[in-house]
Amino acid sequence: MKIAIVTDSTAYLTPEERREWDIYVLPLSVIFGQESYREEQDLTTADFYEKVKNSEVFPTSSQPAVGETIELFRELSHHYDAIIPILLSSGISGTYQTVVTVAEELQDEVLIYPIDSGISCAPQARAVRLAAMMAKDEQYTAKEIVACVQQLVDRTTAYFIVDDLNNLQRGGRLSAGAALVGSMLKIKPILTFEEKKIVALEKIRTQQKAMKRIEQLFEEDTQTTDGDGYELVIIHANAPEAGEAWRAQIQEKYPKLRTSLAYFGPVIGTHLGQGALGCSWDIVIEKNL
């Protein structure tokens, strides 16, 4: 069975990865006043963070255009038996719901199985990689891939820390109460996803303490002493040095852990703000197969 794997731009896959694994991408956009840019197509991540610094207006974001989504699925329907789109959490974007609606509209043309990743960025990319590995094999049915990816998605966790909660509050992705308390007390809450939405897990005063607490959560969750069998990713919003320092320090503590560094691109950077750091882990991907 030939299955197309689709994701959205907030998985921030590299062009090489997309080419190697035949992954198709629906772009979300950032908007500065009247100007709209499809992220990483019309505006690079580096240019986005530079633009934010010099812009008088705060950017906003928008989901992929419906027309572009229909066009991509129609095109794929000529080459594939089924399509599996893996999308950012339905609790923070309308993208998943739009794709579900489009899938219903196109049901007589092609089978589409949308998956709500319940997250975004590098942990979403992990689910996409798993789907792509299985699809390349051509031995799995679409339903088998969906079931396997869904298992990974259901246990996925990520923790992140932002410099200023106002970005999230302004974009309506965090409850007003939580943002107010955070900025008033100058705390750095550890944020996470619960039931697809962003919540403050613990209120901690400094970024360093929050990072230590996240490492503790990793240890409690995995019960590992050397990281064997696990992979962990650090994600940064235009803060590569801080991200890399954190990654290297964790790597030193857990020599067998597979670690990597990823980034928050324009759309997610719009809501988290410069300097945000995130961390997510799972069993190594091959263990899912």
Closest by CA position to 198, among listed 281, 124, 92, 86: 92
- In the DSSP assignment, the letter for residue 243 is H
Interface with ligand MYR, residue 28, by CB under 6 A? yes
Of 197 and 258, CB closest to ligand MYR: 197
Strand partners, 7: 25, 86
The 89-118 site mask, x for binding ligand MYR (CB under 6 A), equals ---xxxx-----------------------
Of 130 and 134, CB closest to ligand MYR: 130
Q: How far apart are CA 8 and CA 152, in angstroms?
A: 18
Q: Pick from 76, 102, 148, 272: which binds ligand MYR (CB under 6 A)?
A: 272
Interface with ligand MYR, residue 62, by CB under 6 A? yes
Determine contact, residues 286/130, Cβ cutoff 8 Å.
no
Closest by CA position to 84, among listed 27, 146, 18, 9: 146
Q: Pick from 43, 134, 278, 282: which binds ligand MYR (CB under 6 A)?
A: 278
Q: Pick from 25, 102, 112, 119: which binds ligand MYR (CB under 6 A)?
A: 119
Residue showing the smallest CB distance to ligand MYR in the complex: 93
Q: How far apart are CA 210 and CA 85, in angstroms?
A: 34
Minimum CB separation of residue 78 from ligand MYR in Å reads 28
Helix (H) or strand (E) holding 198: strand 197-202
Strand partners, 86: 7, 115
Q: Where does this chain bind ligand MYR (CB under 6 A)?
A: 28, 61-63, 92-95, 119-121, 123, 158, 160, 173, 235, 267-268, 271-272, 278, 280
